[in-house]
């Protein structure tokens, strides 16, 4: 890490933004028309069912288009493009500043309306995951019985999820006051009796933050320095000893709410100041060129526009990966919008590339020994490669957390994660068609 500066730099407001309407949890519908003028912070898209967070305009300007655009999750997404009118103006607020937070129900509604999206992708949005059963919309119970279970553990995760990514470290060191302000609000909404901050084993916490955590009754748990212990199923098991049922289980099914420290630090801005979510905090890295920057960008800033302000800028990219080197997707277009879930953008040159081969498995067993979910990656990837998707599903394909360790250790460099993602996508697509 050396002299990595953890202080984020705020990039200038861009001339355009592209805000995706499709997320892994579902899609939202635009509530603005092409040609309409919008204020910064104005709601531009909403979920008719009131479950998914709104999408807020991150700059003031004119809606230039609503159309498919290269998306941050490796595929096209219907998106709203806003072109800046350069006027700025007073940003829209969720309520007048100085007001005290309202009822818990109102606070959950504000979190959803703010457009706050977490760095991690969960099956349910924040306002649902941290709501104790009495605050959860009863309409959800028939579909998600897990939400009936009281939350007894609240885990604020301050440990980065994958090697090379230091976003949460940056938050711990630069947003301590915001984290402390968010804790009582989140604790009250969740009703959790035990609140834990997880950090990596070598993390040094600022004295003020440590004192504030003690006063707030938050326990600090240090995680072993071993990837992928900070991914949700393993994190929950490490902290509580509980195993999340798979496939498709969520921490809520074992009475736990997990959220990252960045989200915790953003909650007070929404609930105490009425600020909609218009900015994303990201890491931009080109490790072989010693480039590492933390930046604040307007949500939906295009990667190619952000790069104009990164100095030195990464050179000769042969591959660009969003969401980190182990868990991310390679991008096919530098016009991809940067959003909070982008988390970290990695630039690799030709010399950095790990090339996967179309070689047969030599049955060495290394992937099986290394899989943290106790799967058989060799067999699962083979089944997906030859289109035997049901067989892969029967062998717990959906328990795979896509940590990438199996591909990393494979001596013949089989593209196992790619094959398993392909299998999952094929199974999901065939279900949607039915």
Site residues (CB under 6 A) for ligand SF4?
Answer: 361-367, 371-373, 375, 377-378, 400-406, 409-412, 414, 416-417
Provide the minimum distance between the beta carbon of 251 and ligand SF4 in the complex, in angstroms, as a whole number: 17
Q: Which is nearer to ligand SF4, 216 or 409 (CB)?
A: 409
Residue 302's nearest CA partner among 2, 18, 7 is 18
Q: CA 227: distance to chain centroid?
A: 17
Provide the minimum distance between the beta carbon of 322 and ligand SF4 in the complex, in angstroms, as a whole number: 18
3-state secondary structure of 216: coil
Distance CA 68, CA 79 (A): 6
The helix-helix angle for 176-190 and 104-113 (nearest 10°) equals: 130
Other CB atoms closer than 10 Å to residue 175's CB: what's the count? 20
Provide the minimum distance between the beta carbon of 421 and ligand SF4 in the complex, in angstroms, as a whole number: 9
Q: Which is nearer to ligand SF4, 280 or 406 (CB)?
A: 406
Provide the minimum distance between the beta carbon of 75 and ligand SF4 in the complex, in angstroms, as a whole number: 20
Residue 261's nearest CA partner among 309, 224, 206 is 206
Q: Write phi, then psi, for 146 (nearest 5 degrees).
A: -60, -30
Q: Which is nearer to ligand SF4, 197 or 392 (CB)?
A: 392
Q: Which is nearer to ligand SF4, 102 or 387 (CB)?
A: 387
Kindly report whether the peptide bond that precedes residue 261 is cis, defined as omega within 30 degrees of 0.
Answer: no
Provide the minimum distance between the beta carbon of 276 and ligand SF4 in the complex, in angstroms, as a whole number: 36
For 432, residues 6+ apart whose C-beta sits below 8 A from its C-beta are none
Residue 205's nearest CA partner among 190, 186, 219, 191 is 219
Q: Which is nearer to ligand SF4, 43 or 367 (CB)?
A: 367
Distance CA 307, CA 316 (A): 13
Provide the minimum distance between the beta carbon of 360 and ligand SF4 in the complex, in angstroms, as a whole number: 8
């Amino acid at each position: 890490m050396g002299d990595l500066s953890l202080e984020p730099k705020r990039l200038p407001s861009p001339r355009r933004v592209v805000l995706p309407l499709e997320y892994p949890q579902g899609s939202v519908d635009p509530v603005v028309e092409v040609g309409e003028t919008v204020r910064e912070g104005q709601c531009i898209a909403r979920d008719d069912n009131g479950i998914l967070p709104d999408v807020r305009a991150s700059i003031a300007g004119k809606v230039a288009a609503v159309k498919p655009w290269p998306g941050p999750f490796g595929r096209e997404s219907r998106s709203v493009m806003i072109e800046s009118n350069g006027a700025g103006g007073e940003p829209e607020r969720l309520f007048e500043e100085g007001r005290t937070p309202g009822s818990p129900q109102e606070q959950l509604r504000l979190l959803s309306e703010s457009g706050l999206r977490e760095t991690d992708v969960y099956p349910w949005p924040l306002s649902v995951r941290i709501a104790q059963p009495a605050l959860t919309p009863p309409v959800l119970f028939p579909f998600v019985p897990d939400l009936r279970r009281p939350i007894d553990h609240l885990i604020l995760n301050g440990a980065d999820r994958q090697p090379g990514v230091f976003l949460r470290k940056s938050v711990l060191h630069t947003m301590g006051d915001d984290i402390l302000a968010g804790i009582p609000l989140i604790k009250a909404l969740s009703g959790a009796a035990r609140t834990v901050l997880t950090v990596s084993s070598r993390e040094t916490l600022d004295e003020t933050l440590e004192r504030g955590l003690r006063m707030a009754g938050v326990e600090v748990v240090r995680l072993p320095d071993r990837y992928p212990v900070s991914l949700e199923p393993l994190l929950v098991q490490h902290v509580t000893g509980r195993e999340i049922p798979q496939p498709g289980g969520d921490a809520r099914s074992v009475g736990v709410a997990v959220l990252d420290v960045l989200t915790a630090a953003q909650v007070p801005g929404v609930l105490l100041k009425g600020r909609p979510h218009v900015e994303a905090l990201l890491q931009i890295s080109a490790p072989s060129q010693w480039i590492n920057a933390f930046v604040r960008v307007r949500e939906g800033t295009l990667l190619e526009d952000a790069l104009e302000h990164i100095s030195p800028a990464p050179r000769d990219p042969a591959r660009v990966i969003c969401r980190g080197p182990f868990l991310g997707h390679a991008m096919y277009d530098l016009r991809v919008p940067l959003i909070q879930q982008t988390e970290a953008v990695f630039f690799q040159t030709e010399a950095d590339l790990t090339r996967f081969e179309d070689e047969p498995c030599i049955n060495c067993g290394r992937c099986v020994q290394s899989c943290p979910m106790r799967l058989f990656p060799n067999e699962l990837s083979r089944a997906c490669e030859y289109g035997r998707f049901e067989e892969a599903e029967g062998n717990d394909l959906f328990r795979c957390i896509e940590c990438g360790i199996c591909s990393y250790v494979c001596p013949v460099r089989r593209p196992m994660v790619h094959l398993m993602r392909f299998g999952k996508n094929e199974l999901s697509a065939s279900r949607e068609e039915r």
